[in-house]
Structure formats: structure tokens, C-alpha cells
Amino acid sequence: MMKGCLGLLLAFVLGTNAADATVYRVADDAQLARALQQAVEEDELVLEPGVYAPFTIEKEITVRGEGGVVVDAKGKGSGIIVKSAYVKLKDLHIRNFGGDLYERDAGVRVWQHKNYIHLENLTIEGPGFGIRADSMGGLTVKNCAVQGDASRHILDRGDGIYAKYVTNLKVFDSRFARTRDGIYIENVDGSEFVGNYFTEAQYGIHWMYSRNSKAVKNRAENVVGAWAVMSTNRADVYDNVSYDTVEFGILLNVADACRIKNNRVYDVHNPRGQKLLDTEGKALFIYGPGVNQITKNVFSTSDVGIGLAMSGEANQIWENAIVDNKIQVRYVGEAPLQWSRKGKGNYWSSYLGWDLNHDKIGDKPYQPNDSLDRIFWIYPEAQFLMDSPVVALLRWLADQFEIDRGKGVTDAYPLMLPPITYEGRRDAHR
């Protein structure tokens, strides 16, 4: 008791700054509880090395660890609950919190309407949500590491970050592993995700019903899907890299006014994919209506380069590199689609045309699919005929007489060279 009182008194004497904020140094749970009770706005609590019980913050203060601080929730509830605005948490290791997703168990749980929360240099390990925030504004997460429980089914884990009805969300330079989604946002206005890494999760970043978002220079590997933009408007997805995914690299599902640029997607393979069900792995999958700009991307070495379904025809697709996919484009419809803009199309590794005038544009338009492809997709039981001499003859005749001209996807200005620097999977390790 005397030691704790002396510690708090010493903090009052020595820990005052120009703004009259107090620094409390605490070394055990009892001192921490007293400091949380006595602290006032803008004070700082410094936790000395040790293991601490879960705690709740109800004042506008900073809590930071010094040299190896662990908050252990012992398998129940949340590690730290934030019930005040203007709270900062730094340099803490939060572990063993609960896994009850209905109760919103989390490493850090931010209470509703508690705005301007800053989380930095946190290591968070547990089965529930890494960070959970609802109905608040101004959440910043920087240089944090969140790891879920790999023993749970992927859909029974918490998300690395779960944000719902949040404004001004920023996540920088953080790592997410073995969670459900790395970052899941729902009805979020204004978000920015820069320099983050995702692995062993369902989706890297998962947008739902959100607006005005930026995702830049993130990387995902060994996930089901990297970047899932669903029922979302005005998302800018730039300069991201993904490889070794299962269902997709980039998904645009009823997304509108999004800009997808300078991304590199490699090796999307679904070992259980079926052509009849359209479940092969797709580097880019566009599903549902929307008008989005898709340019300067690499879609490479996947089951399907670009898959298009259910009224996704209005998207603008130009100056991309579609390289070495088993199926370059899968589009069953016959509506004429022109994948070029202002005299610039896309680079196709499967294009066999010439450039006699040396303008770096192929002299002959390119159609990645023909009517026979669509027949085989609709009736996969006829796949055994694909390599027969009769089908080869039909394809040759269709090409000679331009039977498929104006049907499906056409690139009127196929590029002879990739529009962006492309070095294969080595890009993914940068």
C-alpha cells in the first residue's frame, strides 16, 4: 500500500509537463486501478514490465507500456475496454481475451460514440475481434499486429479490425494473421488503409455498404480473397499486391464509382472450383451492376484472369496486363463489350496479332472468347470435345468469317507491350 502511494505521489511531483498533465508510473494491478481512478484529462499512465489484468478506460488519457507489458484477459471478455473519447494506447501486448463474437469480445473494444481513439504498437492475440469499434469517429490504428486463433474455423474467428458505423478510420503499417477478415468495415464513411499485410484469413480487406475509402500498398497472401469491395461506392484500390489466393484477388460486387489501379494479382487457384458453378479462382471478379475504372493492373497466372457476371458490363477496363491465365476472360453473355479507352486497350499474353505500323497497338482487334467457349461454359459436360478436330475447324471458320464479331468482349486496341512494369511474382515480395 505504501509503495503504491509513494509511486503515485512521485508521479505528481516529477511527472508534470507544461500543460500540467500528470504521468503515473504503475507496476501492478492495484496501482493501475488507483491511477485510472485518479487520472484526469490528458494524463498519462506508464505501465512498467509485467502482466496485468483487463481494465477499462473512462477518461481522456494515454496508456502506454514500457519494456514488455502484457494485458492478459485469461480467456474471458475483452482485454481493454475504451469508454472515453481521446484515448491513446501504445506499446502493449494484449492476449487471451474471449472468443464470444456475440458479446463483442475483443483485444481492444471501443465503446459507442467514443471518438478519436489512437492505437499504436499493439500486439493483439486471441480468438475474438482484435479491435472492435461501433458507432464512433476518428479511429487510428498504427503499427499493430493482430493474430487470431488458427484452431477455430475461419468463420468462427473474430476479424482483425471490425468497424461498423464508423467515420474517419485509418489503419497504417499493421499485420493481420489467422483472423476471419483482416479488416472488415460496414457502413463506414471515410477510411484509409496503407501498408498493411494480411495472411491466413478469409479476406484481407472486406468493404460492405461503405463510402469514400482508400487502400494503398497493402499485401495479402494465402487468403481466400484479397480485396473484397461489396455494395460500396467510391473506393480507391491502388498499388496493392496479392498472391496465392483461392477465390479472387479483387472482387467488385455491386460496387460503383471505384478506381482499381496499379494492383498486381498473382496465382488465384481454387482446387475445388467447378466451371459449371463458375467457382474457379479469378484474379478480378466483377459481379453485379456498377461503373468502375479498372486500369494499369496485372492479372496473372490464375484460373481466370477476369470473370464478369450479373450485369457487370458497364465497367471501364483498359491498359491492364492479362497474363498467362488458364482462361483469360470468362464472360457468358453476348452483349458487345469494348475493353479499351481513347485508343488504348489491354495487354494480352494470348494475343497473336502483328503491329506492322509500329504504334505498339495490335493491328487486329482481340476477342478472348468465342461462341464455342460460351457453349462449353454453359454445357461443361461437352468439355471432352474442346480439343477435337471438328471444334478446331469450327474455330478456324468462325475466325475467318468473323462470326463472333461484335459479340462478347472485344479489345479494339490490344497493346503489344505491358502498360506497367511487370516482373512476375517477384513483385509480390517487395
Contact 220, 250 (CB under 8 A): no
Give the pLDDT score at 275. Answer: 78
Is pLDDT of 250 > 90? yes
Q: How many C-beta atoms surround the C-beta of residue 88 within 10 A?
A: 17
Cα–Cα distance for residue pair 205/212, rounded to 1 Å: 14
Whether residue 299 lies inside any domain: the answer is no
Average pLDDT over residues 374-384: 50
User: What is the rounded CA–CA span in Å between residue 356 and residue 188?
Assistant: 51
Q: 115 pLDDT band (50/70/90 cuts)?
A: very high
Total length of the chain: 430
The CB-side HSE value for 87 (13 A sphere, CA atoms) comes to 25
CA-based nearest residue to 306, from 271, 282, 276:
282
Q: How confident is the model at residue 8 (pLDDT cuts 50, 70, 90)?
A: very low
Q: Which of 183, 184, 224 is nearest to 201 (CA)?
A: 224
Residue 5 counted as domain residue: yes
Given a cut of 70, whether residue 189 has pLDDT beyond it is yes
Residue 13 pLDDT > 70, yes or no? no
Q: Provide the 8-state DSSP code for 361.
A: B
Domain around 35: 1-12+19-48
Q: How far apart are CA 118 and CA 121, in angstroms?
A: 10
Of 198, 193, 199, 182, the residue nearest 215 (C-alpha): 193
Instruction: List Cβ neighbours of 37 (8 Å cut-off, separation of 6 or more).
Output: none
Q: Average per-residue pLDDT in the chain?
A: 89
Q: Which amino acid is at 152?
A: R
Residue 348 confidence (pLDDT) above 80: yes
Burial label, 286 (beta-carbon count in 10 A; 0-12, 13-18, 19+): buried
What pLDDT score was predicted for residue 20?
77
Sign of CA dihedral 352, 355, 361, 365: negative
pLDDT tens by residue, 300-328: 999 999 999 888 899 999 999 999 999 99
Distance CA 409, CA 308 (A): 10
Cα dihedral 182, 99, 247, 235 in deg (nearest 10): -40
Q: Which of 87-101, 132-146, 247-261, 263-277 has the lowest mean pLDDT?
A: 263-277
Cα 131 to Cα 28, 83, 116, 255, 380, distances in angstroms: 24, 14, 14, 26, 45
* CA 146 – CA 125 distance, rounded (Å): 6
The total of structural domains in the chain comes to 1
Confidence (pLDDT) at 218: 99
- Beta carbons within 8 Å of 402's beta carbon, 6+ residues apart: none
Confidence category of residue 368, pLDDT binned at 50, 70, 90: confident
133 closest CA partner among 154, 115, 145:
115
- Asked if residue 202 belongs to a domain, the reply is no
Whether 58 is in a domain gets the answer no
The CA-based diameter of the chain, rounded to the nearest angstrom, is: 96
Of 397, 424, 316, 326, the closest CA to residue 368 belongs to: 326
Domain assignment present for residue 1? The answer is: yes
Asked if residue 288 belongs to a domain, the reply is no
* 73 falls within a domain: no
pLDDT in tens, 197-217: 999 999 999 999 999 999 999
* Predicted TM-score (pTM) of this structure: 0.89
Residue 362's beta-bridge partner residues?
A: none
* Mean pLDDT, range 124-146, rounded to an integer: 99
- Lowest-confidence pick of 47-61, 180-194, 225-239, 383-397: 383-397
Higher pLDDT, 299 or 380: 299
3-state secondary structure of 133: strand
Question: Strand, coil or helix: what is 427?
Answer: helix
**Dihedrals φ, ψ of 178, to 5°?**
60, 30
User: Is the residue at 39 inside a domain?
Assistant: yes
Residue 5 is predicted with a pLDDT of 47
Q: State mean pLDDT over 271-284.
A: 89
Q: pLDDT over 70 for what percent of the chain? A: 85
What is the mean pLDDT of the segment spanning 376-396?
49
Q: Residue 210's closest CA among 248, 242, 257, 243?
A: 257
Spatial distance between the Cα atoms of 161 and 198, rounded to a whole number of angstroms: 12
